Amino acid sequence: MKGYNYAFLDEFTKREIRRKILKAVAIPGYQVPFASREMPIAKGWGTGGLQVTLSLIGDSDVLKVIDQGSDDSVNAINIKTLVQHTTDVKLTNDTKEASIIQTRHRIPEEYLNEDQTIVFQVPFPEPLRTVEPSEQLTRRMHAEKDYSKIWLYLYENIVQYGDIIFGARYPVMVNERYLMDPSPIPRWDIPRLHNAAFLSLFCAGREKRVYAIPPYTKVEPLEFEDYKFEVENFDGKVCARCGSGDTFLTKSVDDKGNEIWLCSDTSFCEKRRKKNGLFAKSG
Amino acid sequence: MGYVAVEGGEDAINNAKKVVEIFRRENRLAIDQVMGEGSLYAPELAELAIKQAEGDLVEASFLIRAYRSTLPRIGYSEPIDTHDMFVSRQISSTFKDIPGGQILGATRDYTQRLLEFERSDEVEEEGEESSDASEDPPKFEKVVDVMREDGLIAEPLENSEEPFDITRDSLQFPLSRSARLQALARGENGAMLALAYSSLRGYGSVHPTIAELRVGYVKVKIKHPYTKNEVSIGEILATECEGILSGVGATMLSEDAKFSLGYGLVFGQNERKAISMAILDGTTSVKEPEAPSEDQEFVFYHIDGVDAMGFVEHLKLPHYVTFQSSLDRVKKAKEAKK
């Protein structure tokens, strides 16, 4: 794009973000403050993830961007277009082909390897915000590893509702040290962060925090001995397009108004269709 | 020429109306607001942003901020001395007679807010700004200086020589005063007005009396990188408010029985924001915060218009996955209730 630096941000900004990322990788799960810039997309629409992607990306990278699992969601396309206009990097929908995957609220269904980096867009970096509004206090609680308030909250959940009611954004303990907000990924994706081969980078633009899970790091969801963490239950439903019963599904309706369920990972769904000899009606 | 309703008051009001007409230009005050919230002094760009955003001022400020991200940081200016302001308006509500006198300038404060139907057909005239450069602008002593000489003003404890830069570091609480003033200077008008109002009205106790409210041009100077001499790089229009945190009824005093100051300085002519800023400077420096407007995190995490608009409007993005995850929990909780 004429008149703009490679990958939009100036080189000093990129270097600053990369340094903060290195610190984040060195202290798994710890939220590193950084001076987030205003981006040409709105705060809360992926500016954190975008700044990480732009500070990492180079000519040899292949980028995939998904929004709630979908490659073709309007905001994912908007982000991809901005990155491509300022870098000319190759874009892909294929999870296996991507070197950087920027995501809002999903981890792709396919297995990611050591060469891949996943960049999460984060609305709320602070897992303790649910129980404590003050940033000064939550930072102290992390420093002292004082997580009693969140444990109490989980206990109260059970008393009040009979179970832990975190839907997405389920708090996890990283490397037995820091409580971390995994961004609003569904619980379905949480076990896939544990001892993962890939590097996970999390960035909140509006809240100005970056944090990370390095490859092969212990990631444990909070749970009690008698009330275990559990993933979403789809009661044996299968995807209406590809027939899979082992992926995260979202409810929808078909043309006749009947309830159907569909894979949220659109690229994986398409691959399965092809493999199973099913072909999409349109792109 | 006093602005109290004594002799000369009526003339002053009529003259103020005339000055408003001289200054009147399409979107003049909107441009000032966008420069403030966009935190970039560039009237032409602000005007373009307002046009592009069809008058949505938060959106216009957002355009300016995004553009600002692409500009290199060259350095800091020298502190601006507002004693040297070329004043086009100054009023005081602490004293009737002030150095230089009360100058109403361009204000609508004493007009009746009636729609002027006959105006709607008028073609906007290009405002001709003629100034007589040969004339040395008058400088006036400030009301606060007079009070300082009398030992009535408690000086702020901090004097941050090198300012904390909120665009290069994320906010760290408790905030230094330089960080607070920066965040307030680019805060959103409506949000700041509401919080400042809350303190005046009942949730808090900061009620300032305006020692001086000034609008005028100030020179921006930088230190020349080689000669190290101060050089002027241009001038900006600014509004400054110095509020004496006096309280009404019960007088507010600092420990050594002096008044504290609340300070506001904003781009362009934006008196409402300058006053709100002075109030919030006061509320967020109280030692024992009680009211919402006195809680630094509450104020400074929520007054940025670009942050707030982005996050509130992100709700328009799909939440199919996250909502599915919540549905699953509702189902589970319902089963548990049975």
**Separation of alpha carbons B289 and B280, rounded Å:** 12
Q: Check whether residue A242 and residue A109 sit in a common domain.
A: no
Q: Report chain B's terminal Cα–Cα distance, integer Å.
A: 78
pLDDT at B2: 46
Over residues A66-79, mean pLDDT:
92
Is it the case that residue A260 has pLDDT exceeding 70? yes
Residues in chain A closer than 8 A to B299 (CB atoms): none
pLDDT at A281: 42
| Catalytic residue check, A44 | no
Is it the case that residue A283 has pLDDT exceeding 60? no
Q: What is the secondary structure of B166-190 as a DSSP string? A: TTTS---SSPPHHHHHHHHHTS-HH
Closest by CA position to A124, among listed A204, A49, A52, A179: A204
Non-local (6+) Cβ contacts of B133 within 8 A are: none
Closest by CA position to B82, among listed B184, B231, B212, B192: B212
Closest by CA position to B40, among listed A7, A54, A43, A38: A38
Q: Check whether residue A96 and residue A211 sit in a common domain.
A: yes
A117: in domain: yes
ipTM given for this complex: 0.79
Over residues A109-114, mean pLDDT:
94
A242: in domain: yes
Mutating which of B168, B297, B322, B334 best tests the A interface, going by the most A Cβ atoms within 10 A? B322
Burial A180-197, CB ≥16 within 10 A → b, else e:
bbbbbbbbbbbebbeebe
| Catalytic residue check, A242 | yes
pLDDT digits (tens, 9 = 90+) for A99-109: 999 999 999 99
Residues in chain A closer than 8 A to B167 (CB atoms): 35
The alpha carbons of chain A give a radius of gyration, in whole angstroms, of 19
On the 0-12 / 13-18 / 19+ scale of CB atoms within 10 A, B259 is buried
Written as tens digits, the pLDDT of chain B (338 aa) is 444 544 567 787 788 888 888 888 889 999 999 999 999 999 999 999 999 999 999 999 999 999 998 888 888 899 898 999 999 899 998 888 888 888 888 888 877 788 888 776 555 555 455 555 556 667 888 888 888 888 888 877 666 678 889 998 999 999 999 999 999 999 999 999 999 999 988 888 778 889 999 999 999 999 998 999 999 999 999 999 999 987 655 566 666 778 888 999 999 999 999 999 999 999 998 888 989 999 999 999 999 999 999 999 999 998 999 999 999 999 888 888 77
Catalytic position from the list A29, A48, A49, A69: A29
A75 closest CB neighbour out of B167, B301, B317: B317
Q: Check whether residue A53 and residue A90 sit in a common domain.
A: yes
pLDDT at B247: 63
pTM above 0.90, yes or no: no
**Shortest Cα–Cα distance, A68 to chain B (Å):** 6
B324 closest CB neighbour out of A33, A134, A250: A250
pLDDT at B295: 95
A91: in domain: yes
Q: What is the secondary structure of chain A as a DSSP string? A: -TTSBTTBS-HHHHHHHHHHHHHHHHSTT--EE--PPP-SS-TTSSHHHHHHHHHH--TT-EEEEEETTBSS-HHHHHHHHHHHHHH--EE-S-TTT-SEEEEES---SSPP-TT-EEEEE-S---GGGGT---HHHHHHHHHTT--HHHHHHHHHHHHHHSS----SS--EEETTTEEE---S--GGGGGGGTT-SSEEEEEETTTTEEEEE-TT--EEE---SSS-------TT---TTT--SSS-EEEEE-TTS-EEEEES-HHHHHHHHHHTT---S--
Q: Check whether residue A240 and residue A214 sit in a common domain.
A: no
Over residues A211-233, mean pLDDT:
96
pLDDT digits (tens, 9 = 90+) for A9-59: 989 999 999 999 999 999 999 999 999 999 999 998 999 999 999 999 999
Q: Three-state DSSP class for B260?
A: coil
Q: What angle do CA B72, B77, B78 make, to 5 degrees?
A: 160
Q: Check whether residue A22 and residue A112 sit in a common domain.
A: yes
**Sign, Cα dihedral of A181, A183, A187, A190:** negative
CB B253 within 8 A of CB B286: no
Q: Check whether residue A67 and residue A15 sit in a common domain.
A: yes
Mean pLDDT rounded to a whole number for chain A: 93
A22: in domain: yes
Mutating which of A12, A19, A43 best tests the B interface, going by the most B Cβ atoms within 10 A? A43
Q: What is the DSSP letter of B243?
A: E
Residues 169-188, chain B: which have Cβ within 8 Å of A? 169-174
Which secondary-structure segment (H or E) carries B42? Answer: none
Phi-psi region of B241 (alpha: psi -120 to 50; beta: other; left: phi over 0): beta
Catalytic position from the list A243, A245, A263, A277: A263
Q: Check whether residue A124 and residue A240 sit in a common domain.
A: no
Residue A63 is part of which domain span? 11-129+168-219
State what percent of residues in chain A have pLDDT above 70: 98
pLDDT at B249: 56
* Chain A CB within 8 Å of residue B326 CB: yes
Q: Check whether residue A205 and residue A265 sit in a common domain.
A: no
Residue appearing with tokens 């206990």: A155
* Other CB atoms within 10 A of residue B199 CB: 25
CB B314 to CB A45 under 8 A?
A: yes
pLDDT at A99: 98
pLDDT at B134: 57
Residue type present at position A184? P
Which has more pLDDT, A265 or B338? Answer: A265
Q: Check whether residue A179 and residue A213 sit in a common domain.
A: yes
**Separation of alpha carbons B61 and B39, rounded Å:** 8
| Catalytic residue check, A203 | no
Q: Check whether residue A122 and residue A244 sit in a common domain.
A: no
| Catalytic residue check, A239 | yes
pLDDT at B108: 84
How many folded domains does chain A comprise? 2
Token pair, residue A149, equals 């308030």
**Separation of alpha carbons A150 and A164, rounded Å:** 11
Count of H helices and E strands in chain B? 11, 4
- Closest-CA residue of A relative to B297 is A134
Burial A76-114, CB ≥16 within 10 A → b, else e:
beebbebbeebbebebbbebeebbbbbbbbbbbbeebee
CB A135 to CB B170 under 8 A?
A: no
User: Side-chain half-sphere of B284: how many Cα atoms within 13 Å?
Assistant: 29
Which has more pLDDT, B318 or A64? Answer: A64
Token pair, residue B293, equals 């407007």
CB A44 to CB B314 under 8 A?
A: yes
CB A135 to CB B66 under 8 A?
A: no
A228: in domain: no
pLDDT at A52: 98
Token pair, residue B115, equals 């729609």
Over residues A98-119, mean pLDDT:
96
Is it the case that residue A154 has pLDDT exceeding 80? yes
